Chain A
Amino acid sequence: MLAIPLIAALSIASGPPASAPPRQPAPVAIRVDGVVQTDGAIGPGGWIIVRNGRIESIGTAAPPPGAATFEFVGGIACAGMVDVATQLGAPGQFSEPSRAFTPDVAAADAFEPDHSSFLAAARSGVTTVALTPGSDNIVGGRLALIRTRDDHDRAAQFVGPGPLRFTWSDAAFPEDRLPSSRMGAMARLRELLANDTAKTAGASLVSAQTSDQIRTALDAFTASNRPLALLQPFHAEEALALLPGRAQGVVVGPFNLDTAERETRLPKQLADLAVAVAFTANGDGAALRLTAAIAVRSGLDPKSARLGLTSVPARLLGIDGDAGTLEPGKRADLVIYGGDPLDLAVSIQMVLVGGGAVAKKETP
C-alpha cells in the first residue's frame, strides 16, 4: 500500500547526458490545499509553478499553458527535508581513526552517487543530506553536501567544501592516541581554527555531550568567530543556557518509541531558549518525521518542528539561500504530503528534487 514506485517515465526526470545544452522542460504545476510557510505555519494553498528546476510562484499564478499539472486534494506542500548528519551510501567508511585531527579528510571521497540509499532517502522526502565524517576523531574532516537526486537520476554533490565535523566527547579521546588531555586538544584546535581558511558557508558540526564539553567547544568556536551546531547534546541540561546566541543550532535524533523522555523533551527545552533545532535520522524521511512527531508530543511547538525538518538544517549547512523553504526563486525541492507533514497517519504523495519528480504515490 505504501510502496511508492519510481516514476522514471516522467519526462522531466529523465534528462539528457551531462554534456547536452540546458534543457527547457515543460513547466510543472501542482495544486495543493496548504503550504508550509517560511515560519513553519501551514498557510493557504494554490498552484505551485515549477520551471527550470526552480519555484516560479506559489499560489499567485494559474498553470501556464503546456504545463504538466497535478492536483492533490487535501495535499500540503513542504520543502524537502534536509538531514545534516548521515552516512548514506557507505556506512562505516566515514571514520579515519589513525589520527586525532584529520581536517583534510573529506566525506566527499566516500560518496557513491549511485547508491540505492540516496534514492530511498529521496522517496521518503529527504532532498538534501550531508555526508558526515564519524565521531572517532577530534576533527573528523569535511562534510559533503549531497542532493539526493540530480537531473541524471543519481545523487550529486553540489557545493564544496563542506563545514568541518568535530567530536568533543569521549569517543574522540581513546587511551592510546595523542593528544591525551583536553587542554592539549584545545591548543591544537585553536591553531587549526586560526589556520583554516577554507570558505564554508555552514556551521561546523560539533558532537559534545556533557555540559563542560559544550562549554569548551563554545569557547573555542566563539573565540575564532566560527559558527557551530551541536550534535546530540544530551546529558547537558546545565549548559543549555549557554547556547543562545552562541550556537547556530542543535541537531538531535533519531527518536523512536523507546527513546527516554529526558531526551525527547530536549527540543522543547531548546525552543524555549530560542535555540533552533534540526532533526537527523540518517537520511530516512519516515524516521525524521517520527522524530519530529515525538518531539511535538514531548512539548515542541509544531512550527519549530516543521522548520527542524527543513529550514533549520538548511541554514546549518549554509544552503538556506537555495533550499529549506518554499519561496519563489528557490530550488524546487518539495514534498507533497496528504496533510500535515508532522502527522504520521499522512503519507507522501509526491516528491520533487530540483523540479524532477522522484516519487509519486500510486493513485488507485
Chain B
Amino acid sequence: MSNALNESKTESSSESTGVTTDVSTSTTTTGESDEQIRDEWSDFHFDGPAKLSVEDLNVHYGTDHALTDVSMEIPENSVTALIGPSGCGKSTYLRCLNRMNDRIKAARIEGSVELDGTEIYDANANLVELRKRVGMVFQQPNPFPKSIRDNISYGPRKHGDIDTGLLARLLGRDDTDEEIELVERSLRQAALWDEVSDRLDDNALGLSGGQQQRLCIARALATDPEVILMDEPASALDPIATSKIEDLVEELSEEYTVVIVTHNMQQAARISDQTAVFLTGGELVEYDDTEKIFENPESQRVEDYISGKFG
C-alpha cells in the first residue's frame, strides 16, 4: 500500500511540473495486479438469488481465444451491463447465455452456464425451451416482414401457446381472445401500444427504427421469457428513441433479468445495476455495482478504459 502511495506521489509531482497531463488521482488502483483486483471484487455480493451462474467459461473461434476463464453470477430482476472495447468478447459472452454460439461451427465452448441452477450446456438441454426463457434483442431492429400483430404472436404460436384459425375454431381451441390480449399486453410492456394500437395489421417494416426496436422487445416479451439479452439495442437509434428504450429496460428489470451489451458507457452507467468490464483478450477484468465501477474501479485498466485514456 505504501508502495502504491509513493507511486502516486511521483506521478502527481510530475504532473505539477507539467510533464504530463494525466490527472488520475487514484492511489487505490496503482501497483496492484489484476489477480489481486479480482480477489477484491470477487467478493461482490448481491441480495437475492443468481439467475445465471457462469463458471470458467472459455470460447475459442478456431485458434482465436475469444473468452478466457469468465466467471460471474447475474442477479435476478436487475440490469447487468457488459462494456468493453470492440472485440473484447462481450457479445460472445452474451450469446453464450442462450447458446446462440451453437450456430457457429468454429466456436468451441467450455465451462458452465447455469440458469436457475440448471446447466444449459447439458446434452439433454431443450434449446427451444431455453430460448423461450432467455430472449434476445439485437443491435439492428429485425422485425419479421409481417404485420405488427403477427410479429408478436409468431413466437407464442410456434411454441403452441396460441392457436387460432379455422381448424382451431372447429376443434374448439380457438385462442383469438388470448391473442388479442397478448398482443396488447406485450406492446404495452414495450411502451409501443399507444403508437400502434390503431394499425396492428400494418406491416412492421413501416415503423420507425425506434418503434421497430420496441416491437422486437415486445416480440421477445410475448413468449414470456425470464431473461432478456440485449446486444447494443439502442446504438442504431436517435436520442429520443434511445431514451425510450432505456426507460423500458429499467422498467423491465422489475420482472425480468436483463443483460445488456453497450458501447455507450454513459448508457451503462444510467440504466444498469451492475457492470462487467471486458478488456481485450476476452477477459472479464472487473465486475461490480455500477456506482463502484464508475466512481472508484479497482483496476487501473478499467479506470483508463472508462475515462477514455485507452488508445
Whether chains A and B associate is no
- A binding-site residues for B, Cβ under 8 Å: none
- B binding-site residues for A, Cβ under 8 Å: none
